[in-house]
Amino acid sequence: MLFAIHALDGTEGLARRKTAQQPHSEHLKKAGDYGVRMVMAGPLVEDDGTTMKGSLLIVDADDRGAVEAFNRDDPYHAAGVWEVVTITAFQKRQG
């Protein structure tokens, strides 16, 4: 089943991103350890097209619990980059 992880940064998210970027990238490479397969991931940005303000990850997993565990262990979560995270089941219709 596909899940969308929609995460919006807090007020100091951009600064915290810089310190947690490398561990976050390494964590994404280990998604399989959680029973999660990365479909796509990238930063959410302001309308200027460059200023990061959050993250969007589309993942494939057997259940929500695996996705929640994967997200809970993300270094961005531990560093307080994200203020609001929503995990929603997703049905791909096109693309």
Interior/surface letters 3-24, b for 16+ CB within 10 angstroms, e for the rest: bebbbebeeebeebbeebeeeb
Residue corresponding to tokens 């951009």: 14
Q: Which CATH superfamily is domain 2-90 in?
A: Dimeric alpha+beta barrel (3.30.70.1060)
pLDDT confidence of residue 76: 96
Q: List the chain domain ranges.
A: 2-90
- Reported as a single tens digit per residue, the pLDDT across 50-80 is 999 999 999 999 999 999 999 999 999 999 9
Looking at this protein, which amino acid is placed at residue 95?
G
- Reported as a single tens digit per residue, the pLDDT across 3-48 is 999 999 999 998 999 999 999 999 999 999 999 999 999 999 999 9
pTM across the whole model:
0.93
Whole-angstrom Cα distance, residue 77 to residue 36?
A: 17
Q: Coil, helix or strand for 46?
A: coil
pLDDT confidence of residue 95: 82
Q: Provide the token pair at 21.
A: 């970027």
